[in-house]
Amino acid sequence: MTVQSRAELATAQRIVVKVGSSSISGEASWRIPVLVEALAAAHARGAEIVLVSSGAIATGIPFLDLDSRPTDLATQQAAAAVGQNILVYRYQEALRPFGVVAGQVLLTTGDLENPTSRSNARRAMERLLGLRILPIVNENDTVATQEIRFGDNDRLAALVAQLVQADALVLLSDIESLYTKPPSDPAAVPIDVIASDADLVGLEFGTTVVNSVGTGGAATKVSAARMAAASGIGVLVTSADRVDDALTGAEIGTWFAPAAPSA
């Protein structure tokens, strides 16, 4: 089914949810059980859920006795190798009380651009969903380069939504909605809906930023949301703290309306 509004998220059959590093790593790791409870509730009503989760590098940092996010690629890859294992373990432990099993899927953008590997990835994802497994997708940071530094998996989430032909994509952030200007600006106004053909000239979403644990920002979410919406997938951008409300159709966040199917 094509999800045309936020309210229809409550009955959507296949949803891709993306969460960023800053929302679930370090001192924010307490949010994993909260996120999982909302995902498990949607899973329990029969929905097929795919979670795209950043956080491997950020999760691995303290286990390598590093004080901050490494700047060299080799150490980032090492942190990802350690952190990915721990991150998936935390998700599975949180899912266990709900009787939901997670499946790890590591991808690179190249995997989704090559026809053969893309077909393999789609087949594997479809089988996982058919078996009622909850796939947890992340960038394969131990072999990827560019994606470690830019996007914080927003683009990957849009590509995965297209891959599995999701009904909707939910991009979770640190803020409840997108604004016309940076939220710190007194003139900033929250954006309710962005039409598929909307002209965004004049809106200031900022530039990609790198914080202490991850990469990303409003601009990368807008770019990913527009890409998914252009292919007919409705997208909600909202706060990770409102994930339960998002998946039950509450009128929150910024909704990117899907483009109508081409004739």
- The amino acid sitting at 225 is A
Closest by CA position to 170, among listed 26, 41, 59, 49? 49
User: Which residues line the annotated binding site for substrate?
Assistant: 54, 141, 153
Distance CA 246, CA 159 (A): 21
Distance CA 101, CA 75 (A): 31
User: Which residues line the annotated binding site for ATP?
Assistant: 18, 173-174
- The 8-class DSSP code of residue 164 comes to T
Angle (nearest 5°) at CA 54 between 155 and 106: 80
Please check whether residue 191 is in contact with residue 254, taking contact to mean a CB–CB distance below 8 angstroms.
yes
| Stated length of the chain | 263
- The span from the first CA to the last CA of the chain, in angstroms, equals 17
Kindly give the pairing relationship between strand 193-194 and strand 254-256: parallel
188, exposed or middle or buried, with CB in 10 Å at 0-12, 13-18, 19+?
middle
- The amino acid sitting at 52 is V
